[in-house]
Structure formats: C-alpha cells, structure tokens
Amino acid sequence: MVSTKKQAWQFYDEWRKVGSYCPVLKSHVRVTLLGWNHLVGNENYSRRSPNDRFRRFKLLPFAKIVIEDTKSIRNRSFNKFYALESKIEINKKRTRIKVVVIEDKTGNKIFLSVMDRKHKKSTNLPHATMRHEE
C-alpha cells in the first residue's frame, strides 16, 4: 500500500509539470518545491504535526480545483499574497478550502499552501467526493 505522503507527492509532482491557470488572477500558477516544502514543514518552515500534514496532503487535489475554478479573490494583501477560497463538498459536508498563492519579484504566481477548517476527524478526506461551489 502506498503511503499518503507518497500519493500526495505523486499528485504534486504531476501537477508541477503543468501547473494551473487561475482565471481570477489572469495568470498561470506555478507549482514548485516551495509549496511542497511549506506543506511538509521542511527547511525554513515551521514543523507541522503529522495530522496537519495528512490533512493538507489530502486537500491537494482540491487546491488545484480552487485555483482553476474560483471566480473571486477573498483576500488580497499588499505583500503579494493571494487567498483564493471556495466551498467544496467533501463527504457530503461543505468545507471552505483556502489556497494561498504568492507572487515573486518577477510577477510569477506560485502555489504556496492549502488549508481547511480543522475537523476532529480529518481522516474522512480520503474518500472525498467533490462538488465545487462559489
């Protein structure tokens, strides 16, 4: 059986090859090791608990959906951080998914992170069904 981290890496690595187009940002969003290291808690990032990593790994496919389908930016700061949010149905429960995209010095948009509201039973995510809502 393949571990959750390996499955997440396989998805992430394939996503890295093509990235995503974000209509609301009118830009291609690059998927790089910066985002992976942030999700895992590597290098210069805060260490993440195993539960937090697991939850974020399971949210990766939803992050791609949010980037490609969200029609508005919920929050935009002056530091070139963009927060894209959508409500997505996961196991018959509407969950707000937030994706953080940053802009580098040359204007490239780069995926940084994905998060949801913490649930007591985040293990429900593996069998998630998707329904995108604005």
Give, rounded to a whole angstrom, the gap between the first and last alpha carbons of the chain: 35
Round to whole Å and give the CA distance between 129 and 91.
6
Average pLDDT, the chain: 83
Q: Considering only 4-18, 28-42, 117-131, which range has the smallest mean pLDDT?
A: 117-131
Using alpha carbons only, how large is the chain's radius of gyration in Å?
A: 14
* Backbone dihedral angles phi then psi of residue 133, each to the nearest 5 degrees: -135, 150
Beta strands in 1-134 (DSSP E): 20-22, 27-30, 73-76, 81-90, 93-103, 109-116, 132-133
Check residue 30 and give its pLDDT: 97
Grade residue 123 by pLDDT with cuts at 50, 70 and 90: very low
28-56 mean pLDDT: 87
Domain count, the chain: 1
Query: Which comes out higher in pLDDT, residue 23 or 125?
Result: 23
Check residue 42 and give its pLDDT: 79
Q: Domain range for residue 72?
A: 4-133
Grade residue 88 by pLDDT with cuts at 50, 70 and 90: confident
Grade residue 50 by pLDDT with cuts at 50, 70 and 90: confident
